[in-house]
Chain A
């Protein structure tokens, strides 16, 4: 079974600085998708960024980028120029790329990010 591990329950970063959130996963599959979701105090789950395992190029979305290391099964999220609105719980997530009957997303336990003014 696939697992997703986020080893940092909480992190803090100064506003305007850069922070990296760690995520590792375990899978025997070669085709899969990885995601970072953000959950602000409103509890809404917001997709931040997505990475296809078959793509070597790291995904980027404005101030958010990932460092995808397939061999190491590592998928970290870098937030540049941190803003107060980035304060949230961040979840790393995995989804199989196999065309089977199971489309579920497997989530890590989350990392709570605090932004210090």
Chain B
């Protein structure tokens, strides 16, 4: 158990809908990262937050957004969902932003868009 929790574990929804994925980092970790794992694109970095502020953006679609709250948990919002958004979404956390730090991954949220 990495100490990173993600809810829900599974999510089934329809095209055009909006969903929110939640992540709680390890105790004491200030950085949260979101990754998407799909069959065709593999594992891709989406976005990073550090202590409530956006730090880096990767291949995140404009339909997607995220935020990190004062208690350091993070939410990834996916809107106007398309079939191709079906994927496993991982959250990872690290204490800070030092390049020496290891990112610990949560169990993921499996999203299925029908």
Which residues of A approach B to under 8 Å, CB–CB? 31, 33, 35, 37, 42-47, 50, 52, 91, 95-99, 101-110
Contact = CB atoms under 8 A, between A and B. Distances in A.
A44 B107 CA distance: 5
Q: Is the interface of A mostly helix, strand, loop or mixed?
A: loop
B56 A43 contact: no
A25 B31 CA distance: 26
Contacts of B16: none
Contacts of B56: 101-104
A97 to B, nearest CB: 5
Given A35-B102, A46-B105, A104-B58, 20 more contacts: A43-B88, A43-B107, A44-B105, A44-B107, A44-B108, A45-B90, A47-B104, A50-B102, A95-B99, A97-B99, A98-B99, A103-B55, A103-B97, A104-B45, A104-B48, A105-B103, A107-B42, A107-B43, A107-B44, A110-B42
A45 B48 contact: no
B60 to A, nearest CB: 11
B88 to A, nearest CB: 6
A50 B103 CA distance: 11
